[in-house]
Amino acid sequence: MNHTVGVLLLGGCCVAGLALVPLGLPGLWLMLAAVVGYGWLTGFHAIGLVTIAVVLGLALLGELFELWLGYGLARRYGGSPRAGWGALLGGLAGAVIGVPVPLVGSVIGAILGSFAGAMLFEYSSSRTAQTAVRAGWGALVGRLAAATAKVTVGIVMAVVALVAALRG
């Protein structure tokens, strides 16, 4: 395979992965697969085990950010652990429900699902509307912060991968 074509394909996969992240889809893992695939196709000359390990570590870090921010901000805004779990489950359910709406459906669904899940789970235990709404708001803010953090991590992953590929 031509080096330029390979780098362009890797770059295209990185852009596609970055586009998937806000949709709640495994974009960082697509990027990791592209990095491993590029390394394999080039005999691991340009992209070796160190680069793959760095990209894998960044992908895991992105997932930790998502869990921590989505769950943690619901709690920080006054929600109980149930609100944190509600945000997590509601976000997943909302992303699935929103899939039929092209491009933005799963993003909006995940955000609204996080809000609704945290609010409902918190209300079921506290029976206080104000606390439940605050927990829901924290979950919404957390979901937006998590998407931003994951896209940022994805950009770093893309830069690491492309710099390594261009050096080879």
Domains held by the chain: number:
1
Mean pLDDT of the chain: 88
Question: For residues 43 and 65, what is the distance between their CA atoms, to the nearest angstrom?
Answer: 32
- Identify the pLDDT of residue 114: 85
Domain that holds residue 137: 3-167
Question: For residues 129 and 79, what is the distance between their CA atoms, to the nearest angstrom?
Answer: 11
- What pTM did the predictor assign? 0.79
Condensed to tens digits (0 to 9), the pLDDT of residues 48-61 reads 999 999 999 999 99
> For residue 75, is pLDDT > 80?
no
% of the chain with per-residue pLDDT over 90 = 44
Buried residues in 2-24 as b, exposed as e (16+ CB within 10 A): eeeebbebbbebbeebbebbbbb
Condensed to tens digits (0 to 9), the pLDDT of residues 92-135 reads 888 888 877 776 777 788 888 888 998 999 899 888 898 889 88
% of the chain with per-residue pLDDT over 70 = 98
